[in-house]
Structure 1
């Protein structure tokens, strides 16, 4: 890897992290020595790149740093195309359209030499099985997740039983043929997962649940970890 490319990759590593990154971690990812990273960090600081931190503690990139966001490598383009292909085939209509628009925007701004990676990518995803229609507006659901608002749903489970729930939506999961809404259920006083095609009716309430989105999602992740650890070996 050329030095200029390495400096760019160091910036990328720092930009994607919200915590200090040690020179050892950067060196391991870039397959160079920590001493090389120390020299590169010093060079970046000398070029007025706002890197904060010190050896032994780690480094952070200041939020004020502004670098052209589409200085993409071929691998980053392949990753973007692969992800957009998957979303275009499996996302709800709003996300599918956004995925197609994303590729069009990237195509319009990348250098000519990189366009073959977009027009004729070396990666792809298989066609998706026909999915059952969602019983809820997922674009609006995502907005309610960001705003921390509640939903009232009428839900039919796998046995055909129908129930009324007030839920705090957390995250929408996209699978091959189905989509799942993870939420805190006020009725069960626990986290539950609802297949979106089994939601018979949904009302978007103006009530806020009062929980910070990050904390609620962290609690949900911890509950999933506990559930997995409690399962007998070999059942996954």
Structure 2
């Protein structure tokens, strides 16, 4: 294990503990000697890690400390590069710009050897991808999910029948050629999914829905495993 990977591992271990942990326990968990552990903690503290404590008392990392990009391993950098390139290629304009901006920020703070590895990444996307169609601006859907606010939408089903809905959006699923908005639908009194390219109009209502998006997603996942209950990629039609 390289030194950078060892330091990254120690940070991850510290993040899992909310109370001070003895140096001996940390050394055992990370598989290093106590002397190496003390040296690694001192190195992380010198780099700005908010680790407090001392030998004989224990160590803890203050809440809110963010893992610095310079601690990324090679596989993590590969995952970031490929993921950001996919978003830049397949996402709408705001997401694509966000992906490119993220890569630039990471590159700016990487040490030289990792910067070269990022710049020379050989993970590329295949040609022939078709642009995704959108009926409305997708960042409106993401804003509704973040704010946990109701949406009033006009939706056209596969038969071309339009209906008006008030929905509680809690997730947006990215397929290769379309996007699916996952919601609780007030009209149907249940979970429904709507392809974004079939939503012709959407209005963000100034009212939060009565449940949080995490609980809706948990319930949806529970129902997903019920035999005969399938709600992706699309499970709605016109008024009945």
Q: Report the TM range for the smaller structure's normalisation.
A: 0.7 to 0.9
Q: Following superposition of structure 1 onto structure 2, how do residues 79-228 of structure 1 map, counting pairs within 5 Å?
A: 79-127=79-127, 129-226=129-226
Residue equivalent to 2:8 = 8
Once the two structures are TM-superposed, the CA of residue 3 in structure 1 deviates from its matched residue by: 5.9
Per the normalisation by structure 1, the TM-score is 0.74
SS at match of 1:85: helix
Once the two structures are TM-superposed, the CA of residue 87 in structure 1 deviates from its matched residue by: 0.6
Unaligned runs of 5+ in 2: 20-27, 46-50, 54-59, 231-240
Residue equivalent to 1:36 = 31
Q: Is residue 128–residue 177 contact of structure 1 (8 Å, CA) maintained in 2?
A: no
SS at match of 1:115: helix
Once the two structures are TM-superposed, the CA of residue 122 in structure 1 deviates from its matched residue by: 2.2
Once the two structures are TM-superposed, the CA of residue 225 in structure 1 deviates from its matched residue by: 2.6
Q: How far apart, in 1, do the equivalents of 2:97 and 2:12 lie?
A: 28
Residue equivalent to 2:22 = none
Distance 1:10 1:222, change over 3 A: farther
Q: Deviations over 1:172-201 (max 9, x none)?
A: 111111111111111111111111001111
Distance 1:41 1:91, change over 3 A: farther
Q: How far apart, in 2, do the equivalents of 1:196 and 1:106 lie?
A: 31
Once the two structures are TM-superposed, the CA of residue 71 in structure 1 deviates from its matched residue by: 2.3
Once the two structures are TM-superposed, the CA of residue 65 in structure 1 deviates from its matched residue by: 3.9
Q: Deviations over 1:79-99 (max 9, x none)?
A: 110000111111121111101
Unaligned runs of 5+ in 1: 21-32, 52-59
Taking only aligned residues, the RMSD between alpha carbons, in angstroms, comes to 3.5
